[in-house]
């Protein structure tokens, strides 16, 4: 009889995989992510970039991937969902936020 054992992978291993994927680049290059500081060994401060339409603003309350957050979501999933929403016709009509605007 085969015995099935589950191994819990530490969260930092998942973060390291995600960091490596972000550094290599995936897809068409419209979404990227990485650490704010390359020396951050705790993997706590991340940054992401979405190349979207020439105008757009993010309202976190209207983004399903953020309002229904699950621990299994990756940075890639969130950024790709944001880009998808930014490219919708109704959102492309909204004004561009000020240069350098950040969101918490």
pLDDT per residue as tens digits for the range 31-74: 788 888 888 888 888 887 777 666 656 666 777 887 787 778 87
Percent of the chain with pLDDT over 70: 79
Contact 50, 82 (CB under 8 A): yes
Where does residue 5 rank: exposed (0-12), middle (13-18), buried (19+ CB within 10 A)? exposed
Please indicate, yes or no, whether the overall pTM of this predicted structure exceeds 0.85: no
Question: Residue 63: CB partners within 8 Å, gap ≥ 6?
Answer: 81, 82, 85
Q: Between 74 and 103, name the one with better pLDDT.
A: 74
Whether 2 shows a pLDDT value over 70: the answer reads no
| 47 phi, psi to nearest 5 deg | -135, 150
Helix axes 75-86, 11-24, angle to 10 degrees: 50
């Amino acid at each position: 009889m085969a015995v099935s054992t589950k191994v819990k992978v530490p969260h930092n291993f998942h973060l390291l995989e995600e960091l490596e994927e972000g550094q290599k680049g995936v897809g068409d290059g419209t979404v990227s992510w990485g650490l704010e500081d390359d020396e951050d060994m705790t993997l706590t401060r991340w940054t992401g970039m979405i190349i979207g339409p020439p105008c757009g603003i993010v309202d976190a309350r209207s983004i399903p991937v953020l309002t229904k957050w699950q621990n299994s979501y990756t940075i890639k999933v969130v950024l790709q969902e944001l880009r998808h929403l930014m490219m919708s016709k109704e959102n492309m009509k909204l004004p561009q936020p000020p240069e350098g605007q950040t969101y918490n």
